[in-house]
């Protein structure tokens, strides 16, 4: 833990925006260096221009590869292009538009020339492709739309990110991203920028194929079809929404005005340095709304003052592209993402959405809390457990076979009230507003509902530990096998499963999960940062959790020592 974790950033913690943007244009990647190649993790290509990992050549090559990929798939409709508030997002957005315009792709850009949350891009793609129609979403045929979001999500200010959403509206699968990355790297090897057609930015903006699209109104006006906003207004729930300097900054004010909510945008400031942020656990500025250190400012505002109660009934945070949520209540502070997912699932499937199919499943990632399993069992609902990555929920959300998909890193989405698809990418705004709906319709905060679930299903202790890892070490961890766990017990309990494939769909999990009746751990490399992660949970005690973590660390240590 960094000694200044949770404290406001100091000048020395801030990026030099001109330096970061200058490096985007000035540095040319060495494609022979794996660290400077195009690599798609769980949510797009990410890196810093200062490391020659996210530069103009990368984005031109990736965009050209997307042009070729979408053509090979017969995707000939509009491409929705959005960006967040990172310093590198606008330059990369401009590069992408220049390549798309040169290729004759119809591009929909923000009518306000502003920021676009990831869920708004997903929702616009799906609406174009028929999500709100009686026929439902089309995933084949002429005129289908797709999209690009320029964002590294919650990553530090020095980073950039670039992700592709096919016509299904969600994150592209590994087949697509693998093809795009391979083609982009080939283009870089073959000459980079010199071999890619582009037009000037002015010509791209004036092109007949470039159109203005009102992402904000399309999204905000449609929210009434997925949430009970009238209940929130009628109950007078006081909402404090902190965009954390991200793409939702204008959306929250529009939501409050459109639906007459008692909603305050706690911090409307946008600063590509994020000088107002408190440092995360490792001393970095990271817009992680699930981290108590990154959310320290909002949490402190929710503590009752000397004159009475907290200023808001519910306070929420989002990351830079608004696909993640953080929920703060006066009685509990920042909720653990797993706790809130369990509450949301219990509320939605417990009668709040009578229009959902009775057979629709609950989707969770295999590193999410086992409390969700117990809640699903108590509701008599089918649960499907998938690997890390929201892309695994896309097919079920599209068809309505999965009504809710959530992951432990505070990302989730769910169906419209009539059972049709809303978004197939994570929607932090949606989940943040759901907290207010829960309070409005039940009279109890999400944290109070979690206490009820604990009383019914038992208390658990959950933790994730991150540690630095090289690319080689990450590759070793991704190849962990059940045979590397030779013991038949874990922290005093019999092992019930050793998993390298997800039970819900049989897909490789890129690591290892070991379970007992009251505990589990999973070890896997990060898909977006040079770290590995050990997740663990115990329904016995905090001490038992430590024992489970020790066993997990031993497995990882043995694997790295043998690499």
Q: Quick one: CA torsion of 14, 19, 21, 23, rounded to 10 degrees?
A: -130
Query: Any residues with CB less than 8 A from the CB of 323 and at least 6 apart, and which?
Result: 117, 118, 119, 153, 411, 425, 426, 427, 428
DSSP assignment letter at 350? I
Kindly give the pairing relationship between strand 508-515 and strand 159-165: unpaired
Under 8 Å between Cβ of 428 and 340: no
In angstroms, the Cα distances linking 395 to 132, 173, 352, 399, 400 are 17, 11, 23, 6, 9
Report d(CA 253, CA 526) in Å as an integer. 34
Q: What does the CA dihedral 426, 430, 433, 434 come to, rounded to 10 degrees? A: -80
Kindly compute the dihedral angle of the four CA atoms of residues 326, 328, 332, 334, in this order, to the nearest 10 degrees. Answer: 40
Instruction: For residue 445, give Cα distances in angstroms to 57, 258, 327, 407.
Output: 49, 24, 10, 21
By annotation, the residues acting in catalysis are 153
202 CB contacts (<8 Å, ≥6 apart)?
none
Other beta carbons within 10 angstroms of residue 308's beta carbon come to: 7
Report which of 364, 362, 355, 416 is spatially closest to residue 386, judged by C-alpha positions: 364
CA-to-CA distance for 6 and 26, rounded, in angstroms? 34
The secondary element (H helix, E strand) that includes residue 58 is helix 56-72
**Torsion angles phi and psi, residue 405, rounded to 5:** -125, 130
């Amino acid at each position: 833990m960094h000694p200044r974790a949770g404290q406001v950033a100091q000048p020395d913690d801030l990026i030099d925006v001109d330096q970061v943007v200058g490096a985007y244009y000035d540095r040319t990647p060495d494609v022979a260096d794996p660290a400077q190649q195009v690599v798609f993790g769980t949510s797009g290509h990410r890196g810093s221009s200062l490391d020659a990992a996210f530069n103009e050549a990368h984005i031109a090559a990736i965009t050209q590869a997307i042009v070729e990929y979408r053509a090979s798939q017969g995707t000939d409709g509009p491409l929705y292009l959005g960006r967040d508030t990172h310093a590198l997002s606008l330059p990369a957005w401009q590069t992408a538009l220049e390549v798309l315009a040169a290729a004759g792709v119809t591009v929909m850009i923000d009518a306000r020339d502003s920021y676009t949350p990831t869920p708004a891009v997903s929702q616009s793609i799906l609406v174009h492709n028929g999500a709100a129609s009686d026929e439902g979403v089309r995933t084949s045929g002429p005129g289908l739309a797709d999209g690009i979001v320029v964002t590294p999500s919650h990553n530090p200010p020095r980073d950039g990110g670039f992700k592709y959403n096919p016509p299904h509206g969600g994150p592209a699968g590994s087949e697509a991203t693998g093809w795009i990355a391979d083609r982009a790297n080939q283009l870089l090897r073959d000459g980079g920028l010199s071999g890619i057609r582009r037009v000037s930015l002015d010509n791209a903006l004036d092109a007949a194929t470039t159109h203005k699209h009102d992402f904000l109104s399309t999204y905000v006006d449609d929210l009434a079809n997925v949430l009970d906003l009238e209940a929130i207004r009628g109950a007078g729930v006081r909402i404090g929404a902190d965009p954390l300097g991200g793409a939702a900054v204008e959306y929250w004010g529009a939501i409050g005005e459109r639906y007459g909510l008692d909603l305050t945008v706690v911090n409307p400031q946008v600063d590509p340095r994020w000088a107002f942020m408190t440092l995360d656990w490792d001393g970095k500025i990271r817009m992680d709304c699930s981290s108590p250190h990154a959310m320290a400012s909002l949490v402190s505002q929710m503590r009752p003052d000397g004159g009475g109660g907290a200023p808001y009934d519910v306070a929420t945070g989002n990351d830079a592209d608004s696909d993640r949520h953080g929920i703060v209540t006066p009685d509990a502070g920042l909720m653990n993402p797993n706790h809130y997912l369990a509450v949301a699932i219990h509320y939605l499937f417990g009668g709040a959405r009578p229009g959902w199919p009775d057979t629709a499943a609950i989707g969770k990632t295999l590193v999410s809390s086992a409390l969700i399993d117990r809640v699903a069992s108590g509701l008599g609902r089918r649960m499907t457990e998938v690997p890390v990555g929201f892309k695994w929920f896309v097919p079920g959300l599209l068809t309505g076979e999965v009504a809710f998909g959530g992951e432990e890193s505070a990302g989730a989405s769910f169906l419209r009230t009539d059972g049709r698809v809303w978004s197939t990418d994570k929607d932090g705004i949606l989940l943040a507003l759901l907290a207010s709906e829960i309070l409005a319709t039940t009279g109890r905060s999400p944290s109070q509902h979690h206490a009820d679930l604990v009383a019914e299903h038992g208390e658990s202790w959950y933790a994730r530990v991150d540690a630095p890892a090289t690319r080689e070490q990450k590759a070793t961890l991704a190849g962990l096998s059940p045979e590397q766990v030779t013991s038949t017990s874990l922290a005093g309990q019999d092992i019930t499963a050793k998993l390298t494939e997800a039970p819900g769909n049989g897909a490789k999990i890129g690591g290892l999960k070991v379970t007992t009746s009251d505990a589990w751990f999973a070890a896997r490399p990060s898909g977006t940062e040079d770290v590995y992660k050990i997740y663990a949970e115990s329904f016995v005690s905090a001490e038992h959790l430590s024992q489970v973590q020790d066993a997990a660390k031993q497995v990882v240590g043995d694997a790295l020592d043998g690499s």
